Structure 1
Amino acid sequence: MATDVLIPKLGMTMTEGTLAEWMIPDGAEVKAGQILYHLETEKIEFDVEAESDGTVAHLVPAGTTLPPGALVGYVLAPGETRPIAPTPSALPGIGASPAQQEVRPVQQSSGAGGGVASPIARRLAGEAGLDLASVTGSGPGGRITEADVRAALSSTPAPPAPEARQASTAEVLASPLARKLAQSLRVDLALVRGTGPGGRITQEDVEAAASAAPPAPASVPPQRGLPGTIVPMRAMRKVIAERMHASLREMAQLTMAMEVVMDDAVKLRGQLIEEWASQSIRPSYTDLVIKAVAKSLVLHPRLNARVTAAGIELEPTIAIGMAVALDEGLVVPVVRDADYATLREIAAETTRLAEAARSGKLAMDDMAGQTFSVTALGMAGIDFFTPIINPPNVAILGVGRVHDGTAWVGNLPVRRQVMTLSLTVDHRAVDGAPGAAFLNEVRALLESPYRLLI
């Protein structure tokens, strides 16, 4: 019996997904656990895996955008003929109500050892050469989760590196971002040694290979955009454009800025880098800002809120969204319960989230539930900018670079390390004076950074 290949629903807020690329050609053979196609949503990229062995039959071409539950293809059993393709209106999920899309059953398949495993768990185990039969599942009904596989891998010696790689780029284990980067840099993935689980090639591996490669011949002109060229707005870029435009259209946004003396914060960060080096934790200035914001929101809850039809709804928790720039656009993973987390825990979590974002491994849970956002452009040499609020939040804080400034001590100018913070608030929920009071509290914490450690 043919196994349906569907657009999965990756979270309650997902309304559509784009089948960006078929990884298995139409009519080719596939094994359970192999990546069938690459899915792009408004928030993340996701590899959809085959649930069974068989022959792949495409129903829609790459680039098609459909709602969750929509049928995009089949995996045919041996000897099975291709079913008659339904019309678009008959595809499951198209024109169906959200409730109908939610209840459509998705087939689960067994792992290598016969135990039911999540797709991510099976992929991770396959990349690392781990037999799922040796893994005990902790999920519902004994389902093997990603955490179970990672726990098993941590107690299992790493498998030896393969002696040779297959020449076909399509068969090389690589993250989606690594494949895109390799294509743009003209790097042959078959010649790149992967450092990820099971030899998987990461974005960093491609960058290293590109930097080590000899320069291209001078006779090959660089590729440039020609006048009239249209760059398609893919799923992430399209959603960013729509949401930012809607944010400015629907909110009364006000931006205010304040300069912070960072001398003590610079010293503290340097000390913490040395102290936490053995734990591979390197705190950034943004980490200090996130902790200062979280402590300040406890005192100024009106900035940790959303505007609803009933009024201004204060959020029950503090979850700080951290903007991470990718080639395709911005993603905003979330540091949860930032008011309770220590500075060390925040630094470790932001590092994990940034790495996951750049390697295309962010989960939907990593992106959901933010109540306030922090976005930094200091690394790009920017002192001040006007951040746009990420709905449904009512405020966002922009972080500029740390640079040399001047302060006056009596009649003498004194060199200082300074940074500019720019706060944008939704004037419907927050007036200028409360916004300024919040910003003053953030500044006070950064100028006395020992308070961030208690």
Structure 2
Amino acid sequence: MRRTIADRLGKSYREAVHVTVSREVDAGALVAAADAAGVSLVDVLVRALSDALDAHPAFNATFEDGTHRLYEEHNVGIAVAIEDGLVAPVVADVRGRDPNDIAAERERLSEAVQSGDYAMADLRGGTFTVSNLGPLGVDGFTPIINPPEVAILGVSRVRKRARPAGVERRSTESRPEADDGVAFRETLPLDLSFDHRVVDGADAARFLGTLAERIEDAEASV
């Protein structure tokens, strides 16, 4: 497995023109939505991601043999670390699915790959991948595209950051602590790596902008 991972990611890094854009988003609504639904942050984030993929279909795609192929289904691979390496079981077509439904499927797949009781079909058909290192305390990283997909989203840990207290909040959570005009808000760093042969930096920036809007409105999707 380690050799296969090395071959695939080495090929990806040699062939795809990797560029990463980063953005820090207000995570208050995301945290509140996950708490309300009793699921993890990544489950609500995947729901928001699906909306962003609807708005920017060029990222829900593969690039292989010179063909940029777009897909109707949002088949999101979610990277899972196992003893022998890293795999990304695919949650099939997350479009319109409830975060609880996404959570149940993600947990089933995660348990399957960790126990070794999974089929290769569980790892195939992805159109976009999410790599979440937040639970490991990471503040930011540069994810490598999972070939032949066009992009991958890196998710880091939620942190409290100082922001001007007068900034309007989109979350309905309780008022944050403030001191001398400064409020401490929960923020989430996102790193989007994309294949510059297929999409441009401005496209990636707009994609992250849409995703930020959906995350800040996350409570509406629960």
TM-score calculated relative to the size of structure 1: 0.45
Deviation track 1:226-273 (CA, whole Å, cap 9, x = no partner) reads: xxxxxxxxxx10011111111110011100110011112212222222
Aligned to 1:258: 23
Measured after TM superposition, the shift of residue 451 of structure 1 is: 3.3
Could you give the per-residue CA deviations for residues 57-89 of structure 1, whole angstroms, max 9, x where no partner exists?
xxxxxxxxxxxxxxxxxxxxxxxxxxxxxxxxx
Alignment of structure 1 residues 148-227 onto 2, 5 Å: none
Report the equivalent of 2:40.
Answer: 284
Superposed displacement of residue 310, structure 1: 5.0
The corresponding residue for 1:433 is 202
Secondary structure of 1:441's partner? Answer: helix
SS of residue in 2 equivalent to 1:405: strand
1:393 aligns with 2:149: yes
Moved more, 315-324 or 390-399: 315-324
Shift >4 Å, 4+ stretches: none
Q: Partners of 2:49 and 2:79 in 1: how far apart?
A: 15
Matched, 1:349 2:110: no
Amino acid at match of 1:250: E
Cα offsets for 1:350-381 (capped at 9, x unmatched): 11111111111112221110000000000110
Q: Tell whether the 8 Å contact from 2:162 to 2:185 is kept in structure 1 after alignment.
A: yes
**How far off its partner does 1:450 sit?**
2.4
Partners of 2:165 and 2:133 in 1: CA distance = 30
Where does the alignment leave 5 or more consecutive residues of structure 2 unmatched? 167-179
CA-CA distance at 1:309 after TM superposition: 3.6
- CA contact under 8 A between 2:30 and 2:45: conserved in structure 1? no
Q: Secondary structure at the match of 2:192?
A: strand
User: Could you tell me which residue of structure 2 aligns to residue 405 of structure 1?
Assistant: 161
C-alpha contact 1:403 1:417 (8 A) present in aligned 2: yes
Corresponding letter in the other structure for 1:364: M
Indicate yes or no: 2:6 matched with 1:237: no
Contact residue 153 and residue 191 of structure 2 kept, 8 A: yes
Are the equivalent residues in 1 in contact too, given 2:129–2:146 (CA < 8 A)?
yes
Partner of 2:131: 375
- Separation of aligned partners in 2, 1:330 and 1:406: 35
Which is further off, 407-416 or 435-444? 407-416
Do 2:79 and 2:131's aligned partners in 1 also have CA atoms closer than 8 Å?
Answer: yes
Cα distance in 2 for residues equivalent to 1:379 and 1:308: 33
Change (3 A) 1:408 1:342: same
Percentage of pairs with the same residue: 40
- Alignment partner of 1:245: what SS? helix
- State the AA in 2 paired with 1:334: V
CA–CA distance in 1 between the matches of 2:66 and 2:13?
21
| CA displacement 1:293-346 (0-9 Å, x = unmatched) | 111111101001122345322123210001000121001100111113221110
Asked if 1:324 corresponds to 2:80, the answer is yes
Measure the CA separation in 2 of the matches of 1:367 and 1:319.
10
Q: Which residue of 2 aligns with 1:422?
A: 191
Residue type of the alignment partner of 1:317: E
Matched, 1:246 2:11: yes
Give the AA of the match of 1:320. V
Count, aligned residues: 209
The answer as to whether partners of 1:445 and 1:451 remain within 8 angstroms in 2 is: no
Could you tell me how far apart the structure 1 residues matched to 2:193 and 2:109 are? Answer: 24
Name the counterpart of 2:175.
Answer: none
| Bigger fraction of residues in strand | 2
> In structure 2, how many angstroms separate the alpha carbons of the residues matched to 1:248 and 1:309?
16
Post-superposition offset of 1:439 = 0.8
Structure 1 Cα separation of the partners of residues 54 and 124 of structure 2: 20
CA contact (8 A) 2:73 2:93 kept: yes
TM-score (norm: length of structure 2):
0.90
Output the CA distance in 2 between the equivalents of 1:254 and 1:248: 11
Q: More relative contact order in 1 or in 2 (CA 8 Å, sep 6+)? A: 2
Alignment-derived partner of residue 449 in structure 1 = 218
Distance 1:420 1:401 in 2: 7
Post-superposition Cα deviations, 1:102-124, rounded to whole Å, max 9, x if no partner, equal xxxxxxxxxxxxxxxxxxxxxxx
For the 8 Å contact 2:37–2:99, the answer to whether it is kept is no
Q: Which amino acid aligns with 2:157?
A: R
Which one has the bigger helix percentage? 2
Superposed, 1:40-119 pairs within 5 Å as none
Q: Which amino acid aligns with 1:365?
A: A
Contact 1:377–1:398, Cα closer than 8 Å, also in 2: yes
